[in-house]
A and B are shown apart, each in its own frame.
Chain A
Amino acid sequence: MNATTGAAVTGGHTGVVWETVIGLEIHAQLATRSKIFSGAPTAYGAPPNTQACLVDLGYPGVLPVLNAEAVRMAVRFGLAIGAQIAPLSVFARKNYFYPDLPKGYQISQYELPIVARGTLEIVLEDGTRKRIGVTRAHLEEDAGKSLHEGLGGLTGIDLNRAGTPLLEIVSEPEMRSAREAVAYMKKVHTLVRYLEICDGNMQEGSFRCDANVSVRPLGTEKFGTRTEIKNINSFRYVEKAIQYEVARQIELIESGGTVIQETRLFDPDRGETRSMRSKEEANDYRYFPDPDLLPLALDAPYIESVRAELPELPDAKAARLCREYGLSEYDAGVLTASRELADYYEAVVHAVPQQPKLAANWVMGELAAALNKAGLEIASGPLPAERLAGLLVRIADQTISGKIAKEVFEAMWASGQSADAIIAAKGLQQITDVGAIERAIEEVMARNPDQLAEYRAGKDKLFGFFVGQVMKATQGKANPAQLNAVLKKRLAG
């Protein structure tokens, strides 16, 4: 096996089989309207320091007040992964000096997080399933941003992001390859969007992760020394960063070196990780309970009220699609990758209830390809579910063939018109009139006497030639099944 596909790597020099151990800390920005401890808005992209109030600026005398919506979102996540919701959780101060950290401490949760011990199931490439433990998920505030560009060598501070609510989701070190790590991260990404607690926008940093990576000889129990790769904001980078780091660690150990515990950064341009700070340089964060905030107490009725509002979750939805529509696990998995996609699919099926597989093929095939090509999300595409359903209805009732349907689809995509309007305007209705098909066959036979003779002499392969000719003569509109039946009879003489 090798680093890209499997769980273990054989060392180049020594023949030792190395096992990779990965744990992820995912930071999901919660989609609240205001910040976690103040009333300032959280919208992205505003001019610097226009969305920071006195609390975000850490002014003397101001105090934090917890955003109830952020709490509700954290509880939604906890319930969705079958975790324990702490009846009492505690906010703590993580103390360190940095210019974009206005108070000199970050309010986070340390010893008693709001969510503990959940699990998520990922599906590996070979179809096997694997459960990954989620150690904890805790609420915290984001810091501001330091800006270094265009300021003539000075550093600017933008505190718009300071105080934005984050849910830090910490996994157990249970992933054994970069692929597993990506599958897990995608699973969390899908889940937070289903729960509508995070917009999942990775370019804007709404969803990012730190990866803890180590290697050990396969079969040993003791973990190797780990490094932490900070702030990775794409699935591809996660995979590349881990692959690079695993290879680096193995090579280091095999050439007689030792891995040192440190924080590393991934450079996407060079495709490598490099050291940021060592354990010795690490801050002593002096965590202690924040005396400005009371312990967060959540009672059972509150937790149950949040549970009652949970949407159907991806795994349950996929199982239901298999059951109700007879889809394969693979198709169901693809169609439930996002709530919008699944909703779209179900809206299409609603219009052509007899054709769930046809609907799946079109949503996953033509539609997905067109969206991908245009760089659009399902919700922002030009083709609402009813429109696509209108097309599939015409395939189902044999007005058009599958081949013609692709042409109609392209026209619909470009013009926004309905399938029926395009079929009528272009005269694309399938010819199901046996007389018309027979007339076309007669003409083709008359024009091609040589081929007819050869066919009748036993050259069966020429049947395809005649189908093609008739289709050409009818501009593809002949019903394929009828054409086959009539043509066979006529050619036989």
Chain B
Amino acid sequence: MAERPTLTQWVTDLRAGKVSSCELVRASLARIEASQARLNAFVTVTADEAMAQAEAADRDLAAGRGGPLAGVPIAHKDLFCTAGVRTTCGSRMLENFVAPYDATVVARLRAAGAVMLGKLNMDEFAMGSSNETSHFGPVRNPWNTDRVPGGSSGGSAAAVAAGLVSAATATDTGGSIRQPASFCGVTGIKPTYGRVSRYGMIAFASSLDQGGVIAASAEDCARVLGVMAGFDPRDSTSVDVAVPDYLDALDAPLAGIRIGVLREFFDPGLDARYERCVRDALALFERLGARLREVSLPNIPRSVPAYYVVAPAECSSNLARYDGVRFGHRCREPRDLEDLYKRSRSEGFGAEVKRRIMTGTYVLSAGYYDAYYLKAQRVRRLITADFERAFGAVDLLMGPTTPTTAFALGAKSADPVTMYLNDIYTISANLAGLPAMSVPCGFVEGLPAGLQIIGPHFAEQRLLHAAHRYQLETDWHRRVPERCP
């Protein structure tokens, strides 16, 4: 199998003058074009702007200037606002929406010299686990195009897996970075809630949404996250905690690290062959000097129902601004105000978004609020307390990212609850606001499996360190799908 070029390698080669940004960008654009019909990873490709940025990066590099990612081609999930380039959120509602400003994440990566190749496909408003809810058609899994890439950051994961970009921004509300990363055999990190600014990141569920990165390796993730992370005065929920150098001590030995194996994640729903991959990974950590112990978080089974109250509740309010008045889709010739609202929203939103808006509206309604929303918030506190207890005794928690490898397109789209259960292992980290990763750990019938690593708040460095040490010993993350362009 071919090896995937890594962002770290590109940074080194660009600095050494072995390759120019223009060459990298040109090659990437060619791969994107060749892949688009098969994978549909991109919603918008900004070739001209990318070439101009690459030329500027090459001048900077030649002059010995340029930020830490100078000249490196990347792409953004299409919910990060980009000034002058449309941001669709995978929705008809925002099909022609052009933001007049850059999201903080976009601005920071731009300032670090990264070259944006375009905007990546995603489930509509990040609501979905298969990328099938996108208005722009599903993304397909590069390992098997009959399979979904996962969601909602399916475009980001597929683009990295297929080598179209070396890294992609992504967001994770209930698993939307980790689940597609595991389905596509790439590495993804969802940082601590508040670590990466949400300013300019179009909201799905504000208390759960967190921006992060999908790349080929933990080291690549560390490079990009180091640029994205940090306090932003424009996001009141971002946290003013210093960002460590994530590359620092990545190679240090793991000896003595205490790893908790999450009992509730090894439930009957977990595919036995997938479990084998995860158990093998845990055994490797043990050989690397980690001490393993089983840990139980008794409230974890309540996470999916709690999530599907909190997330729709917030989404029902967050998506109220799409009313056809100031931006976004507006129906033709509205008769009156109510008609404008009803038809603009009915036409602009897809079925899954509507389902969640209706669920969220219901759980916040007078007479139901206490029974649903308040109870879900209590569950959320219990789950957070479970994790806090666990992290009193272990440094990291590990388990599978998903119960199965990538499922077939259409297999779950008829039954929302089956689809929701695919996030059963990932949701709890969002409810507790914890940093979590997915790292490739093997294959089941040619499809990647993912090891999930969860840490205490602001322990991104510890996660990246463990993942990097694992990746020094394994090559799952280096494998590329055969039919990659």
Contacts and interface: CB of A to CB of B under 8 A. Distances in A.
Nearest to B198: A63
Given A61-B203, A288-B364, A105 B317 contact: yes
B317 A286 contact: yes
Nearest to A94: B317
Q: How large is the interface on A (under 10, 10 to 19, 20 to 34, 35 or more residues)?
A: 20 to 34
Contacts of B201: 61
Contacts of A65: 233-236
Interface stretch (B14-22, B319-327, B466-474): B319-327
Nearest to B341: A97
Contacts of A95: 316-317, 320, 364
A50 to B, nearest CB: 15
Contacts of A292: 203, 206, 236-237
B103 A61 contact: yes
B89 A60 contact: yes
Label chain A's interface by main secondary structure.
loop
Interface stretch (B1-9, B92-100, B126-134, B261-269): B92-100
Interface string B371-406: 001000000000000000000000000000000000
Interface string A78-107: 000000000000000101010100111100
A291 B206 contact: yes
Minimum-distance CB pairs A-B, first 5? A104-B320, A291-B207, A286-B364, A291-B206, A61-B200
Contacts, number: 97
Interface in A29-67: 54, 57-66
Contact of B100 (A54, A286, A293, A294): A54
A105 B237 CA distance: 19
Contact of B326 (A57, A93, A286, A287): A57
Interface in A367-418: none
B81 A60 contact: yes
B369 interface: yes
A292 B313 CA distance: 14
Nearest to A93: B317
Given A286-B317, A291-B314, A102 B198 contact: no
A67 B233 CA distance: 12
A64 B235 CA distance: 7
B199 A102 contact: no
B303 interface: no
A63 B321 contact: no
A254 B330 CA distance: 51
B365 A286 contact: yes
Interface string B441-475: 00000000000000000000000000000000000
20 contacts: A61-B101, A61-B200, A63-B236, A65-B234, A65-B235, A93-B317, A97-B320, A99-B323, A99-B337, A104-B319, A105-B317, A105-B320, A284-B365, A286-B366, A292-B203, A292-B206, A292-B236, A292-B237, A293-B237, A294-B236
Contacts of A103: 320-321
A97 B81 contact: no
Given A54-B100, A60-B327, A95-B320, A293 B236 contact: yes
Nearest to A57: B326
B87 interface: yes
Interface string B75-94: 00001110000010100001
A61 B99 CA distance: 9
Interface in B333-376: 337, 341, 361, 364-366, 369, 373
Given A95-B364, A286-B364, A291-B207, A60 B321 contact: yes
A157 interface: yes
B365 A63 contact: no
Contact of A102 (B97, B207, B326, B366): B326
A404 B210 CA distance: 79
Contacts of A64: 236
B180 to A, nearest CB: 22
B202 interface: yes
Interface of A: 54, 57-66, 93, 95, 97, 99, 102-105, 157, 284, 286-288, 291-294
Nearest to B314: A291
Interface in B230-283: 233-237
Q: Report which residue of B101, B200, B320 has the largest number of chain A beta carbons within 10 angstroms of its beta carbon.
A: B320
A255 B477 CA distance: 83
B367 to A, nearest CB: 9
Given A65-B236, A93-B317, A104-B323, 12 more contacts: A54-B101, A59-B100, A59-B101, A59-B327, A61-B79, A61-B87, A62-B200, A63-B235, A103-B320, A286-B361, A288-B313, A291-B314
A157 B325 contact: yes
A61 B79 CA distance: 8
Contacts of A57: 326
Contact of A288 (B198, B327, B369): B369
Contacts of A93: 317
B198 A104 contact: no
Contacts of A157: 325
Contact of B199 (A62, A97, A99, A293): A62
A103 B314 CA distance: 13
B364 to A, nearest CB: 4
Q: Report which residue of A64, A102, A291 has the largest number of chain B beta carbons within 10 angstroms of its beta carbon.
A: A291
B480 to A, nearest CB: 34
Nearest to B81: A61
B109 to A, nearest CB: 16
A341 B246 CA distance: 63
A464 to B, nearest CB: 77
Contacts of A62: 199-200
A58 B207 CA distance: 18
A286 to B, nearest CB: 4
Contacts of A97: 320, 323, 341
Interface in B155-182: none
A284 B99 CA distance: 32
Contacts of B99: 59-61
A62 B201 CA distance: 8
B199 A63 contact: yes
Contacts of B103: 61
A110 to B, nearest CB: 11
A316 to B, nearest CB: 37
B101 to A, nearest CB: 6
A133 B198 CA distance: 42
B356 to A, nearest CB: 15
Contacts of A54: 100-101
B94 to A, nearest CB: 7
Contacts of B79: 61
A404 B89 CA distance: 80
Interface in B192-234: 198-203, 205-207, 233-234
